[in-house]
Amino acid sequence: MSYLPPDPSRPAPAVEPFDPRPQFYIRLSPPWVTRTLLAINVAVFVAMIAAGFLLYNTFNGSEDMRILVLFGAKVNELIALGQTWRLFTAMFLHIGVFHLLFNLYALNALGPLVEGYFGHVRFLAIYLIAGLFGSLASYAFSPVPSAGASGAIFGLAGATTVYFLRYRENFGARGRAILQNMLLIIGINLVFGLTAPGIDNWGHVGGLVGGALVAFGLLPRYAAPAVILPGSQPLQEETRTFHYALWVTVCIVVLVLGVEFATRARHLAP
């Protein structure tokens, strides 16, 4: 191996001056839970296809109402009879491959963002509770059987909006751009849901409101490190475990009361 000395005729490369001022950043969580949810949705879809073939000799199991009911789709009459678990299982079912692919794309786009800033546990709480709020709104206001992760994904959109609304000044132009884009995406999808047939817009609205509500109480709070050094340093997040647990409990209580109210209203309806 030979070594060539530098050519003295060439100017030396510019050296970036060292900035002694402290610069803070937020340490992001890797999207492990997002990837797990993606895998679960795909696995359930494959299981529906297999069940359709084995039970009814059809490759269209994900669109067969018998398979959808068997796997736990939201069916109002069955929920009113006590099968409230369908509000949960419906979040992991998809009606057709395009429905699945669209929701996988949206989850893969929003999931790492929300999980990165909120962390694994709070992200999962937002996703699941938002999905339940979506199922509840659909149960209360839409008579049509439904399924899909859309309510939970709209919840992630609501959580992203809440986060960047709170910290829009800290993130500067990038944060404001994310906030504006998210509001635009939410508006377009809600309008599309109102005009296109076969879309459970109540589930979308419920998930959006639920995700924003949960995220509001689970927002991280940051503080400068105890020892500030020159250069880049991660911000420290305040520990608020009791506050977060209490907020999640309140949201679950609201869900339970909402299911009870919707079921009673359904029983009292003529």
CA distance 51 to 198: 24
The active-site residue out of 29, 150, 232, 243 is 150
Q: In which residue are the tokens 């084995």 written?
A: 54
The active-site residue out of 204, 232, 243, 267 is 204
CA distance 44 to 68: 11
Residues 6+ apart with CB under 8 A from 197: none
CA distance 92 to 62: 11
Distances (CA, A) of 164 to 81, 118, 140, 158: 41, 12, 30, 10
| Residue 258: both structure tokens together | 């909402």
Phi, psi of 111 (to 5 degrees): -55, -50
Specify whether 146 is catalytic: no
Single-letter amino acid, residue 240: R
Strands 231-234 and 22-25: parallel
Specify whether 267 is catalytic: no
The Cβ-side half-sphere exposure at 98, using a 13 Å CA radius, reads 0
The Cβ-side half-sphere exposure at 34, using a 13 Å CA radius, reads 23
Contact between 163 and 219 under an 8 Å Cβ cutoff? The reply is yes
Nearest Cα residue to 63 out of 54, 55, 52: 52
CA distance 206 to 189: 14
Residues involved in catalysis: 150, 204
